[in-house]
Amino acid sequence: MIGFDYGTSNCAVGVMQDKSPQLLSLGEHGRYIASTLYAPSRDVIVNWLHKQLPSAEQAAFQRLRAQQLQKGQGALRELVLDGCPTELSFGQQALDDYLQEPDEGYYIKSPKSFLGATGLLPQQIALFEDIVAAMMSNVKTLTEAQLGRSVSQTVIGRPINFQGLRGDESNRQAIEILTKAAKRVGFKEVEFQFEPVAAGFEYEASLTQETRVLVVDIGGGTTDCSMLLMGPKQASSLDRSADLLSHSGERVGGNDFDIAFALKGMMPSFGLYSLLKSGKPIPANSFWQAMSINNIQNQTDFYSGANTRLLEQLIREGEQPELLTRLLTVQKRRLSYRVVNAAEQSKIALTDTTEQRVDLSDIEQELSINLDRDGFAKACYRELSAITALMTDAVVQAGCEPDVVFVTGGTAKSPVLNAFLRQQFSDTPIVIGDHFGSVTAGLTRWASQIYG
């Protein structure tokens, strides 16, 4: 049995050893593998997955995906004729492969962000099932190699809401995709636990008395808050429904901080806020679409032929055409992920330093941008305010104040976030947990309880 954090930013796996959860090393990736996938062609994902499936699943999958598999075979033949690789890559290797040739192949980051999206067509849902299954298959293989045995039971973390709109329907769709993918790759028993509750379980192990804990889990795609009654007595119970006093969640997380930072911190160097020769401001829509890597429709619109023509027109009519030419380069070379990744890496670097210089010479010779903590705080004010609102909502729902606020998730490392939260909750102790491992550890504890 394992606890499986299939996260928006990273995936991690935990097992119980000597009555304590331990995060496994997943081969060369270490304890955390980035939630990214790269395929030389989108059409070959289904063929790669078919080869990895347990033999008992292959025949049924072949019938279900017959048309896609046939199309993939054609794509594979073309790749072989062109001397291109045919395998998928994951984690950091996926990002490296994408950055090497960003206008080739198929790269996806944080597919979890899309699972609850409204308006997905059946073929899109099938593609996401296959992407998630491929990533889960890779993690399961790495896990079993590390343990030296097969695993068939798992508890997977889930946000309170996958999407802000049409919550129940979006949640049902996302859970169905995750369940099908997990069972397809060989997990026979699959359960889910709310991520903030799981993070709270790990903090609970340190408590010696009953405590009201506001757990704030700032993930890559969502932020979830849960007010939980915790303590040694509660920890031994298999039914924790009475201990969950309230919860709130919204689709705002680390990815949104990265996108906001890229948009407001970097896009001015690509023409955002510049003017047309007429004196009117350059329309901002293309800049937003370019950075919205977690929005399928925005990315489709940005990379459309119509937008190419629009950008070329704006270059002709703009006062600073050299800036807009950079945006056209991003569009033609499909570099949205590259720019947002630069913002993400800068966000991480600004944890330990107040300024960061970003090298973008691969977009334009000698191009670089200076970013700093103050700029990050200004760029992400909306996201910071949304997280505070979620915390306040959870407190109001619970009808009581927390004894302590427990914050976890990768973005919790940011000094900007810490300072902002301490301003809003100045009278309540704030504990910063294991930024990445709390959820995985809590899922592992829960797996041990329900399967043990």
Q: Two tokens at 35?
A: 């939630």
For residues 164 and 171, the answer to whether their CB atoms sit within 8 Å is no
Gap between the Cα atoms of 245 and 251, Å rounded = 21
DSSP secondary structure, 118-158, as one string: TT--HHHHHHHHHHHHHHHHHHHHHHHHHHTS---EEEEEE
Q: pLDDT means per 10 residues in the chain (452 residues)?
A: 93 93 94 94 96 93 95 94 91 90 87 86 94 97 96 94 73 95 96 89 87 90 89 84 87 90 97 96 96 88 95 96 97 94 93 93 94 95 92 94 89 85 86 82 93 85
Cβ atoms of 334 and 102 within 8 Å: the answer is: yes
Q: What are phi and psi of 217, to 5 degrees?
A: -105, 105
Other C-beta atoms lying within 10 Å of the C-beta of residue 282:
21
Reported pTM: 0.82
| 219-250 pLDDT per residue, tens | 888 888 989 999 988 887 878 888 889 988 88
In CATH, the number for domain 208-253+381-434 is 3.30.420.40
Start-end of CATH 3.30.420.40 domains in the chain:
2-187, 208-253+381-434
Under a CB-based contact definition with an 8 Å cutoff, are residues 443 and 148 in contact?
no
Torsion of the alpha carbons at 439, 445, 451 and 452, rounded to the nearest 10: 170
Q: What is the pLDDT of residue 166?
A: 54
Token code pair at residue 211: 């405590």
Q: What are the helix (H) ranges across 1-54?
A: 45-52
Question: Reduced to 3 states, what is the DSSP secondary structure of residue 249?
Answer: strand
Could you tell me the CA-to-CA distances from 85 to 29, 206, 271, 306, 335 in Å, in that order? Answer: 21, 49, 37, 32, 21
* Closest residue by Cα to residue 339 from 277, 284, 391, 292: 292
User: CA-CA distance, 192 to 146, in Å (whole number)?
Assistant: 23
Backbone φ and ψ of 22, nearest 5°: -125, 130
Supply φ then ψ for residue 104, to 5 degrees: -120, 160
Burial of 55 (0-12, 13-18, 19+ CB in 10 A): exposed
Amino acid at 430: I
- Residue 335 sits at the vertex; the CA angle it makes with 280 and 300, to the nearest 5 degrees, is 70
d(CA 42, CA 25): 29
Instruction: Using alpha carbons, select from 356, 427, 343, 329 the residue that is nearest to residue 383.
Output: 343
The four Cα atoms 371, 330, 413, 264 give a dihedral, to 10 degrees, of 50
Specify the residue for token string 């989108």: 42
Amino acid letter, residue 7:
G
Handedness of CA 368, 369, 370, 373 (dihedral sign): negative
Contacts 24+ apart (CB under 8 A), 312-318: 314/271, 314/276, 314/282, 314/283, 314/286, 317/276, 317/277, 317/278, 318/271, 318/274, 318/275, 318/276, 318/277, 318/282
CATH number of 2-187: 3.30.420.40
What letter would DSSP give residue 272? Answer: T
pLDDT at position 164 is 53
Angle between helix axes 336-349 and 91-100 (nearest 10 degrees) is: 130
CB atoms within 10 A of CB 310: 16
Cα–Cα distance, 25 to 7 (Å, whole number):
16
Answer whether 143's CB lies under 8 Å from 24's CB: yes
SS3 370: strand
> Is there a contact between 8 and 2 (Cβ–Cβ < 8 Å)?
no
